[in-house]
Amino acid sequence: MAAERELTALPQCESSKAIDILGVTQVDSPTTRSEVSKKRQSLSDLFTIFASGFALISDGYQNNLMTMTNVILKKEYPQEYTSTVSTRVSNALLVGEVIGQVIVGLTCDYFGRKTAIVFTTLMIVIGGILATASHGATIDGMFWMMTVARGIVGFGAGGEYPASSTSASEAANDLIPKHRGPAFIMVTNFPLSFGGPFAVSIFLIVLMACHQSHYSTVWRVCFGIGCIWPLTVFYFRIRMLNSVLYRRGAIKRHVPYMLVLRYYWRSLIGTCGAWFLYDFVTFPNGVFSGTIISSVVHNGSIRQTGEWQLLLGAIALPGVFLGAILCDRLGRKPIMMIGFSGYLIFGLIIGCAYNQITKIIPLFIVFYGLMQSSGNFGPGNMLGLISSESYATGVRGTCYGFSAAIGKVGAAIGTQAFQPIRNNLGNRWTFIIAAVCGVVGILVTWVFVPDLSGEDLRHRDENFRAYLVSQGWDGAMGEDDLQAFAGQEDPYGIERARI
């Protein structure tokens, strides 16, 4: 249960009637335009958490869909689907995600979490429909349409990161504050990670339904199915409310970005740098893992490659659960450093003994899966959690989106460099470079990432407000029903009661 908090009358308001908002008693005033009951807000928070998690499965599905699609397109178009085209189609999603994370990060701070979430859902559906219908006068023209469509999907999927994650964090902060960390991980990184084996499972079902032939039908159906998942929770997203935290702490005009940079520069270097390194390793290893496995499974069918890929995705999942269990006990920062250490250990094992390990395919898959599981355990779990907790509500979406966007820049660079590294140096060096990134990730985390304890996010808001006031900023904070000015002694009107 959330702690009870009283919202007393703001200095410029004449009190007349009290209403209860999720344990917060707000005094009605002439400026109040809407009243939200405790029951309705709590229900909205619950559905926000649920809808965020279920919708992010679609993002994980889209992120991992090209893993097997790359394999099947290479089989169907051996001459046209070159490594250049493969990289371009795979990178289209990443470029769209970078743009979506930055733009939607700003949007969800300016216009609200709900507006941003509805918009990202529509973009994923529209892009998925266009990808399914990819066509052209030539094969190359079809791949260009697929590239554009995947870019639109990426814009929506990228926007989901700041929109859904900030919403889930703020809702969990009021609904289950003592378990916000594990709850956040289970509705963000778990569905994103689950999207890998989920996408491969759907692919195998469709492939078998098509009798392991009719390749064009297989990839088109898989693209089309990706439109279904975000639509299943669209109703709940339409009905959701912005969180109480957002309605108190939003900064919709005259955002002091220079002060934000001065206050959060260290945290931004930490979250951006660590996310860049994590995605630089994880994304290309996910997208091209099917290609790597198919090169190891000599003369194997697409079905065999898919089955090994499914096992690889399943081995990577336990790291998510373990990280969620331990995040409050060990702390966010130590867990992230342990996760990066896994890249160092397993990356060196696979890279240095590649020729020997790949002769025993199950052993190779296990070590490969453990490397990805350590990534999920550490930076995969903690980066989103730390980015949602490090920044105040008024700029949470912007800073989260920017950090995630820098991560996707790393993913795009990693994807672009993956094939040249593999072609010129061999597969082993993709794992050795992952080990090097693990070392750098440990250092970046140690120096720049804040050591968070999982405290109430309102403390972050209040500390940030105090800093803005000390620097002479006196703008408005919050939406109409809970709005105040930064210069007031207590802009939220909160008197904390004992928990």
**Structure confidence by residue, pLDDT tens digits, 115-166:** 888 888 889 999 999 999 988 888 889 999 999 999 999 999 888 888 888 8
Mean pLDDT on 19-27: 37
Q: What percent of the chain has pLDDT over 90?
A: 21
Is 15 a residue whose pLDDT tops 70? no
pLDDT at 4 (0 to 100): 37
The most confident of 58-67, 125-134, 276-285, by mean pLDDT: 125-134
Of residues 359 and 296, more confidently modeled: 359
Distance between CA atoms of residues 86 and 420, nearest Å: 12
- Maximum CA extent, the chain: 78
Which pLDDT does position 126 carry in this prediction? 92
Find residue 21's DSSP bridge partners: 24
- The helix, strand and coil proportions of the chain, stated in percent and rounded to the nearest 5, come to 75, 5, 20
Average pLDDT value over all residues in the chain: 80
Of the candidate ranges 12-21, 154-163, 454-463, the one whose mean pLDDT is the lowest: 12-21
Residue that wins the pLDDT comparison between 474 and 268: 268
SS3 at position 21: strand
Summarised one tens digit per residue, pLDDT across range 155-210 is 998 888 888 888 888 888 877 778 888 888 888 888 888 877 888 888 888 888 88
> What 8-state DSSP symbol labels residue 380?
I
Average pLDDT over residues 97-119: 86
| Burial track 256-268 (b if 16+ CB lie within 10 A, e otherwise) | beebbeebbeebb
Single-letter residue type at 357: I
For the chain, give the percent of residues with pLDDT over 70: 85
Q: What is the dihedral of CA 294, 297, 300, 306, to 10 degrees?
A: -50
**Between the ranges 28-32, 135-139, 209-213, 482-486, where is the mean pLDDT highest?**
135-139
CATH fold of 38-459: Growth Hormone; Chain: A; (1.20.1250)
Q: Could you tell me the pLDDT band of residue 488, with boundaries at 50, 70 and 90?
A: low
Higher pLDDT, 425 or 21: 425
Convert 220-232 to b/e letters by CB count within 10 Å (16 or more is b): bbbbebbbebbee
Please list, in sequence order, all residues whose beta carbon lies within 8 angstroms of the beta carbon of residue 257, skipping any fewer than 6 positions away.
none
Q: What predicted TM-score, i.e. pTM, was given to this entire model?
A: 0.79
Of the pLDDT bands very low, low, confident and very high (cuts 50, 70, 90), residue 444 is: very high
Q: Are 405 and 158 in contact (CB under 8 A)?
A: yes
Antiparallel, parallel or unpaired: β 476-477 and 24-27: unpaired
The CA distances from residue 70 to 78, 132, 215, 426, in Å, are: 11, 15, 11, 19
Residue 378 makes CB contacts below 8 A (sequence gap 6+) with: 319, 323, 335, 336, 337, 338, 339, 340, 341, 342
Residues 6+ apart with CB under 8 A from 264: 390, 391, 395, 399
- pLDDT given at position 32: 38
Contact 166/116 with Cβ under 8 angstroms? no
What is the distance between the alpha carbons of residues 64 and 57, in angstroms, rounded to a whole number?
A: 11
Q: How confident is the model at residue 50 (pLDDT cuts 50, 70, 90)?
A: confident
- DSSP H/E element including 492: none
Output the pLDDT for position 478: 65
